[in-house]
Amino acid sequence: SSTTPGRSQVPHSFSKAFSLLLLNLEEYYFEQHTANYIFNKDGRERRKIRGSLKICSKSVIFEPDEISHPIIKIPLRDCIKIEAPEDSDTNDFYAGYVIFLKITAILQSRLARTPFDKNRFQNVSETLHMECKAEMVTPLVTNPGLVCITDANLYFQPLNGYPKPVVQVMLHSVRRIYKRRHGLLPLGLEVFCTENNLCSDIYLKFYNTQDRDNAYFFMATYLENHVTEHTAESYMLQWQRGHISNYQYLLHLNNLADRSCNDLSQYPVFPWIIADYSSSELDLTKPETFRDLSKPVGALNKERLERLLIRYREMPEPKFMYGSHYSSPGYVLFYLVRVAPEYMLCLQNGKFDHPDRMFNSIAETWKNCLDGATDFKELIPEFYENDSSFLLNSLKLDLGKTQGGKIVDNVELPPWASDAEDFLQKSQDALESQYVSEHLHEWIDLVFGYKQKGNEAIAAQNVFHPLTYEGGVDLNSIMDPNERVALLTQILEFGQTPKQLFTIPHPRRIIPKFKSFPRASSHDFSMPESPGEESFEDLTEESITLAWNHMTRLKIDGQHKIHRGWARNVLMCSCKSIIKLNIVIFFYFYSIAFARRQDTLMGHDDAVSKICWHNDRLYSASWDSTVKVWQCIPADLLGTKKRFELLAELEHDVSVNTINLNAAYTLLASGTKEGSISIWDVTTASILHQLPCHSGTVSDAAFSPDSRHLLSTGEDGYFKVTDVQTGMIISSMRSEEPQRCFKWDGNTVLSGSQSGELLVWDIVGGKIIERIAGHTGAVTCMWMNERCSSIITGGEDRQIMFWKQQY
């Protein structure tokens, strides 16, 4: 028997399996038994309804076999008496009560006594690597059982046999693995067998971090097709360069920030994009169509923000700006009630919310988020996908009537959407629009970045309650179990802020400009037999792209051996000279026409390490800790010799090993022997960024053609991509051996390795595309013409090699 308010009868109009999910947060489902529900009809006749009794940690649920009867859920907190009737032939209910008395002890004891059934292995030759206790996490339910990892499969054996005796995931099918923070503790592991799917194949919660980390290690070690987990920075690079969409980037950031479809307190969060829900046509070319992505939802209404600020200033510590989160289980189920009513019934104790508070209209929901005193919710990914079922009452649920007498049915759409599919398509178009691409980084700063705890728009140090942030509370330090459970429940129900992924401003996306840019003239290095004037060519973006697409087809076109030492730098300059640099403190200028040394310049106090040339200006780096900029003043008709005038000196703390200029010749990057990179504005001779990038000498550095990114490589064997605007390292890729020099187009890299090979890399995908045999010693320098079709390399084998693309 129970008190009346605690007993919920749920219309049994959907799948019987849903009864399992009618549980509270963090409720365990132990077992089920065949049972009869006995009641008095009309106060006289006793009736029996056959079904199953499900024993759970906070409630018992009776599910009738016939769907015409309701599911009955009885929370244990409302029970006043539990006993087995004398005429009953089963003690299921009483047995369940015993379980409730010592839930944790009984759970662990049963897990310890229940071995994994090795007969479930798919192959008798499988090698066992790990076995431990864990729980399978699904929305609102954690299912205890045993994890077993072999060299071929991941198995989970639920203690209660639900949803099946053993859940199997083949390791060769796994594509992504994420370590998760579950209940604010580092205990989760989520496994995906797809690249871009929102939902995972299995989410496991372990009882200690060591077991979780061991499981991650064994899976990553024995996977055949495992793709290494990408970092937020590597996804940022792909997004910036247009390799993934805005939707895909947000999905990846959510995954990296511990957001999961299996955890309603950390469900993936997406932004409101559109602000116009009244027009008959949606104009994506007008900025006023869009929401201001630089502000959180709570700061979009100026008047409401002022009221919140007044309350914030008067609030005692710990202060926080908003009393509700932008993502919580309640908000997620608010949007999904039509496709997952069982979850809403769980949170509402077997009842739907009041009809006037349901998700009835897109426009009304947006208006309430702007004006409501406590409503600051963002959206969920479903608003930007192709499945419109969450907007339609396809299950024909009785969701009630509003106070105005309107039946709650399908979600009311804005005038510019002809139907639910059209609404989703236009929402997707808005998310991928130019305006959003130009401003999405501002919203990322708020949710995943450096503005998580406050920003200038709201002048608050804590946007939300401190408990919602990672590290806001240490549950392990709370010894009182009641206090700990109460605090965890509060956090899970309120919602959690995503794990912070960025600590400095997020770079903007690169918006492509579909036009060709003027380029300086250049030599094709297949020089004529007799000297002549340089040829000018119409260099288009298409021809350069074509050349990089064929970079794997490089073939040796000629080679020459030099007599003394190995070439460190070779380049063409506009004064019809070749400058060849060995480890000396002089510059040697060689005449192409007469094949002899033409001039010598005493430039530095120590070895010259790298030189660049542009428009009669020479840029030189040296181990004397300086970079110098020289102006070449040509010889005149009176016989005055060519001379060099020092224009600027860029000082460093340590020896400079390499330099490079951007395409506009306004920026210079310098790399030192201690691993730091400096980015300079050469027009003002001022430093913009000084960044610790590598753990050893920086071997080479170069700007992307659009000057947005800087790629560097060093003795530590890493390629690193730096965002020039912010100075953020947004990608880091390890190579098998150090790469001494390279050229790149922003996506593809041609590098010279320590072993003498030329390697072609997909820098965004982080993999080698082609290996090309070349030198017998380390490749030390590389030159490429403007068309990117001719390459010269120098090596420690004292060879200069000429390369051409073979079509």
Domain boundary among 166, 200, 229: 229
Q: What is the pLDDT of residues 415-441, one digit of tens each?
A: 999 999 999 999 999 999 999 999 999
Q: How far apart are CA 255 and CA 179, in angstroms?
A: 10
Reported confidence tier of residue 449, pLDDT bands at 50, 70, 90: very high
Q: Which two tokens stand for residue 505?
A: 């401003």
Q: How far apart are CA 656 and CA 612, in angstroms?
A: 14
Nearest to 441 by CA among 705, 708, 798, 123: 708
Nearest to 652 by CA among 591, 606, 585: 606
pLDDT of residue 219 exceeding 90: no
Q: What is the pLDDT of residues 666-717, one digit of tens each?
A: 999 999 999 999 999 998 999 999 999 999 999 999 999 889 899 999 999 9
Cβ atoms within 10 A of the Cβ of 148, count?
Answer: 25
Residue 751 burial by Cβ neighbours in a 10 Å radius (0-12, 13-18, 19+): buried
Q: At what angle do helices 103-113 and 92-101 cross, to 10 degrees?
A: 100
Query: What is the pLDDT, as a whole number, of residue 520?
Result: 33
Query: What is the pLDDT, as a whole number, of residue 96?
Result: 40
Q: Is residue 6 part of a domain?
A: no
Nearest to 180 by CA among 489, 499, 477: 499
Q: Is residue 330 part of a domain?
A: yes
Same domain, yes or no: 594 and 648:
yes
Q: How far apart are CA 93 and CA 422, in angstroms?
A: 51
Q: Is residue 504 part of a domain?
A: no
Please provide residue 657's backbone torsions phi and psi, each rounded to the nearest 5 degrees. Answer: -105, -25
Nearest to 71 by CA among 53, 57, 89, 85: 53
Structural domain boundaries enclosing 768:
543-805
Q: Specify the CATH number for the domain of residue 215.
A: 2.30.29.30
Segment 378-388 mean pLDDT = 96
Same domain, yes or no: 458 and 582:
no
Three-state secondary structure of 186-201: EEEEEEECCCCCCCCC
Same domain, yes or no: 75 and 123:
no
Pairing of strands 141-150, 27-41: parallel
> Of 163-167, 373-377, 430-434, 574-578, where does mean pLDDT reach its minimum?
574-578
782 neighbors 743 (Cβ within 8 angstroms): yes
Q: Specify the CATH number for the domain of residue 448.
A: 1.10.1540.10
580 neighbors 591 (Cβ within 8 angstroms): no
Q: How far apart are CA 670 and CA 672, in angstroms?
A: 7
Number of domains in the chain: 4
Nearest to 72 by CA among 89, 93, 101, 88: 93
Same domain, yes or no: 686 and 560:
yes
Query: What is the pLDDT, as a whole number, of residue 400?
Result: 92
Q: What is the pLDDT of residues 121-149, one digit of tens each?
A: 988 889 899 999 999 998 877 888 999 99
Q: Is residue 533 part of a domain?
A: no
pLDDT of residue 278 exceeding 80: yes
Query: What is the pLDDT, as a whole number, of residue 416?
Result: 98
Query: What is the pLDDT, as a whole number, of residue 571?
Result: 57
Query: What is the pLDDT, as a whole number, of residue 514?
Result: 37
Q: Is residue 424 part of a domain?
A: yes
pLDDT of residue 81 exceeding 90: no
Reported confidence tier of residue 102, pLDDT bands at 50, 70, 90: very low
Same domain, yes or no: 469 and 604:
no
Nearest to 612 by CA among 653, 574, 646: 574
Q: What is the pLDDT of residues 766-789, one digit of tens each?
A: 889 999 999 999 999 998 888 888
Higher pLDDT, 214 or 616: 214
Give the contacts of 316 (CB within 8 A, at least 6 positions apart).
none
Give the contacts of 484 (CB within 8 A, at least 6 positions apart).
475, 478
Q: How far apart are CA 218 and CA 149, in angstroms?
A: 7
Residue 161, phi-psi category: left (phi > 0), alpha (psi -120 to 50), beta (remainder): left
Query: What is the pLDDT, as a whole number, of residue 103?
Result: 58
Name the residue type at position 288: E
689 neighbors 678 (Cβ within 8 angstroms): yes
Q: What is the pLDDT of residues 319-354, one digit of tens each?
A: 888 888 999 999 999 999 999 998 888 777 778 889
Same domain, yes or no: 224 and 294:
no
Segment 516-533 mean pLDDT = 33
Q: What is the pLDDT of residues 729-753, one digit of tens each?
A: 888 888 889 999 999 998 899 999 9
577 neighbors 617 (Cβ within 8 angstroms): no
Average pLDDT score over the chain: 82
Q: What is the pLDDT of residues 392-401, one digit of tens each?
A: 999 999 999 9
Nearest to 772 by CA among 793, 798, 799, 745: 793
Same domain, yes or no: 416 and 450:
yes
Maximum Cα interatomic distance, the chain, rounded to a whole number of Å: 127
Q: Is residue 14 part of a domain?
A: no
Same domain, yes or no: 468 and 549:
no
Same domain, yes or no: 548 and 642:
yes
Q: Is residue 683 part of a domain?
A: yes
Instruction: Provide Rg for the chain, Cα atoms.
Output: 33
Pairing of strands 59-64, 153-158: unpaired
Query: What is the pLDDT, as a whole number, of residue 483?
Result: 76
Looking at the chain, the whole-number percentage of residues with pLDDT higher than 90 is 44
Cβ atoms within 10 A of the Cβ of 767, count?
Answer: 11
Q: How far apart are CA 453 and CA 455, in angstroms?
A: 7
Domain boundary among 196, 229, 262: 229
Q: Is residue 348 part of a domain?
A: yes
pLDDT of residue 48 exceeding 70: yes
Domain boundary among 200, 229, 258: 229
Q: How far apart are CA 725 and CA 709, in angstroms?
A: 8
Same domain, yes or no: 289 and 398:
yes
Same domain, yes or no: 337 and 469:
yes
Same domain, yes or no: 54 and 27:
yes
Query: What is the pLDDT, as a whole number, of residue 14?
Result: 37
Query: What is the pLDDT, as a whole number, of residue 463?
Result: 81
